[in-house]
Amino acid sequence: MPTLPLVPLPRRVAPTEAASPFPITSATTVSGDTDAAGTLAALLRTRTGLEPGATDDGDIVLSVDGGGGEPESYRLRVGADGIRIDGADAAGLFYGIHTLVQLIHGTDAGWIVPAAEIEDAPRFAYRGVMLDVARHFHDVDTVRAYIDRAAALKFNHLHLHLSDDQGWRLEIRSRPELTRAASATSVGGGPGGYYTQDDYRAIVAYAASRHMTVVPELDMPGHTHAVGIAHPELAENPVLDAVVSSAGPTPRADEPYTGIDVGFSSLRIGEDATYDFVADVFGELAELTPGPYLHFGGDEALGTSPEDFAAFVARASEIVRRTGKTPVAWHEAGAAPGLAPGTIGQYWSFVTPVDGADERARAFTRGGGRLILSPADAVYLDMKPHEDFPLGLTWARGATSVERAYRWEPSAVVDGLAEEDILGVEAPLWTETVATLEDIDALAFPRIAAAAEAAWSPATSDAADRTWESFRARTGGLGPLWATLGIRFPASPEIPWTT
Ligand code: TNX
């Protein structure tokens, strides 16, 4: 059968080649679950300009069958007589609708959906995207737009990197200095910003309406220059010999930092006041966050000795755990013997691990935790897609082509893990070079689709169409949909775009 433009690839697509497609017209009606019908109506309007009618017995029937199917799974059947989507739960139905929307295409005779029978369920429970709102601040509308883009590709977690050397981006009532003194600038000196607690709640609610859970990160003990601007008593002086330098401005203790170097800042590890601070900010964050995870960073603490780093990670992870949430940390924290049990590790070394990152990642699983895989040379969306692309960085083994973003297998990254040790896959977008939604689209697309497939679809060995050639063709078929959704994706020459 012709390749259907479905990304991420569903678990099973049964060909019903002989059957006629189903036409979508101004007379098309929808019935069933009202939330889902609203989601579908909005997408149909955007995609086709048509306004579906609501009836009791629609051409398109949407139901949550609650029949004990796998979480987030759905069945979609398109025949000449109508369309039916059964979700095992509301999320499954939502994903079925997005699969349906990917199938709709225009012909000379009008809009049609090819006949198909699809059974689909995710490989991993955690499918994440991360947006760094610290290097450049991104307002609530931009975050909403990114949630829509990600949810349509069946991502279900939004990790927000809320603090870094360049700024603190979330109002903390018990520590008002953080946003008062340390949020007004960003990389390059441009305007910063922060989320009020109501802004943050609005993001959480919008994400939930798209079946996404927010995973907030306050990064420490490194990446904390902004904390030191607000609370000089909590921070060490910049450690300049630790800096991974880009020849930008030199960090100074009493000035906001607007460069993109990393590794020079650290909280004071030996002071009790530091842990009062950690308890205050994560205590408030836990109250604001309905989801189960709080990320405390732990990456690139290059100005902190290994002993101090281990001491900090032990105390901070325990403080987070006591809020009732599950701590998450970048893989470096796996080096700390006192890491709180159950802490989730986020691996950000390469597809082939370097510098013992795999050993630190395995340490999380020994403590009963699991791993989120973010191999930088495959899923860091802020890497340039090719060397002369205007935005992005290249430290992760040079530019990351769409093909390289696609060709990796999650179970093959860290040796010695069972499939159950992998919580999922996350694609981070760091924003040193990313200031606007247009910039986000330019770097995220189309590689975000490759990450979605790694997170949702069967393993590369378990499905005939889990290949680069198939992915290219399927992604190319999504061009018209992405364009009507207003996504300004670059027309990567690696993809045969349908026009
Ligand atoms: C590494 S990955 C970082 C970030 C940078 C990113 C740029 C990680 C945990 N830390 O601080 O923004 O590289 O690609």
Q: Of all protein residues, whose CA lies closest to atom 10 belonging to ligand 1?
A: 299
Nearest CA among 440, 475, 471, 499 for reference residue 147: 440
CATH classification code of 126-461: 3.20.20.80
List the catalytic residues.
300
Site to probe by mutation for ligand 1, drawn from 165, 243, 300 as the one with most ligand atoms within 8 Å of Cβ, is 300
Q: Which pLDDT score, from 0 to 100, does residue 260 have?
A: 96
Q: How far is CA 275 from CA 28, 224, 265, 315, 412, in A?
A: 59, 14, 17, 8, 38
pLDDT tens-digit readout, 387-409 = 999 999 999 999 999 999 999 99
As for ligand 1, residues whose beta carbon falls within 6 Å of it are: 262, 299-300, 330, 348, 380, 382, 393, 430, 432
Q: Of all protein residues, whose CA lies closest to atom 13 belonging to ligand 1?
A: 430
Cα 35–chain centre separation: 24
Q: Domain 12-120 belongs to what topology?
A: Chitobiase; domain 2 (3.30.379)
Q: How far is CA 149 from CA 212, 259, 433, 444, in A?
A: 12, 29, 20, 10
Site to probe by mutation for ligand 1, drawn from 349, 430, 431 as the one with most ligand atoms within 8 Å of Cβ, is 430
Closest approach atom of ligand 1 to CA 164? 11
- Residue 284's pLDDT band (cuts 50, 70, 90): very high
Site to probe by mutation for ligand 1, drawn from 299, 331, 447 as the one with most ligand atoms within 8 Å of Cβ, is 299
Q: Is the pTM of this model over 0.95?
A: yes
Closest approach atom of ligand 1 to CA 430? 12
pLDDT tens-digit readout, 51-99 = 999 999 999 999 998 777 999 999 999 998 899 999 999 999 999 999 9
Q: Which pLDDT score, from 0 to 100, does residue 2 have?
A: 55
Q: Of all protein residues, whose CA lies closest to atom 7 belonging to ligand 1?
A: 430
pLDDT tens-digit readout, 242-276 = 776 777 899 999 999 999 999 999 999 999 999 99
Closest approach atom of ligand 1 to CA 396? 14
Closest approach atom of ligand 1 to CA 382? 14
pLDDT tens-digit readout, 49-64 = 999 999 999 999 999 9
Q: Which pLDDT score, from 0 to 100, does residue 248 have?
A: 87
Say how many Å lie between the CA of residue 430 and the centre of ligand 1.
7
Nearest CA among 17, 22, 89 for reference residue 30: 22
Extents of the domains making up the chain: 12-120, 126-461
Buried b / exposed e across 327-361, counting CB within 10 Å, b at 16+?
Answer: bbbbbbbbbbeebbeebbbbbbbbbebeeebbebb
